[in-house]
Amino acid sequence: MEDRCQIRLATAADIAAVSAIEQSVFADPWTPSAFHAMLGSHALVAVSNGDIEGYIFARSMADEGEVLNLAVRQGSRRKGLGRRLLGRILAEFAEQGIRTVYLEVRASNSAGRAFYQDMGFREVGRRRAYYSRPREDALVLARELAGEGSA
């Protein structure tokens, strides 16, 4: 699937499919309006055979970036889509001169933590009771991008 999958900017027409994945993946999902508000240059979807298989929403300010939301449809996991989506955002951030990228991950999400560690992120902090359903701490992860882009 990875070779046939196209990564492109998310559009308002994608929000229903993105929201459906979000509802199936997360216990405390974003609303469609939250996704709509984040549409822009750092909102990407992975599309295969016309179906959205995954997405990433991020933002940047000054020399910092933040990955806000990343998910892959249950049946499309472990095929490299999350890696491709995150890699694309990291490359774009590096090209823009972003120096550090941050994200939060549930403390209990061992698969997510391993994935982000493999992608070069390191734990730099903890947000107590960050998640509400269920109540849980978030680990703050960061990755330095200095020297990775042309900016």
For residues 151 and 95, is the Cβ–Cβ distance under 8 A? yes
d(CA 72, CA 56): 9
Residue 24 lies in a domain: yes
pTM value is 0.91
- Tell me, what's the pLDDT at 2? 44
d(CA 146, CA 80): 25
Domain range for residue 58? 2-144
DSSP 90-103: HHHHHHTT--EEEE
- Tell me, what's the pLDDT at 50? 92
What does DSSP assign to residue 145?
-
Residue 22 lies in a domain: yes
Q: b/e per residue, 106-128, with b = 16+ CB within 10 A?
A: bbeeeebbebbeebebeeeeeee
Q: How many domains does the chain have?
A: 1
Q: How far apart are the first and last CA of the chain?
A: 32
User: What CATH number has the domain bearing residue 107?
Assistant: 3.40.630.30
Residue 80 lies in a domain: yes
Residue 151 lies in a domain: no
pLDDT of 74 above 90: no
131 is catalytic: no
Residue 150 lies in a domain: no
pLDDT of 103 above 90: yes
Q: Which of 116, 123, 144, 148 does the annotation list as catalytic?
A: 116
Residue 52 lies in a domain: yes
pLDDT, mean of residues 87-110: 95
Residue 116 lies in a domain: yes
104 is catalytic: yes
Residue 149 lies in a domain: no
pLDDT of 94 above 70: yes
pLDDT, mean of residues 120-144: 93
Q: Which of 104, 131, 136, 144 does the annotation list as catalytic?
A: 104
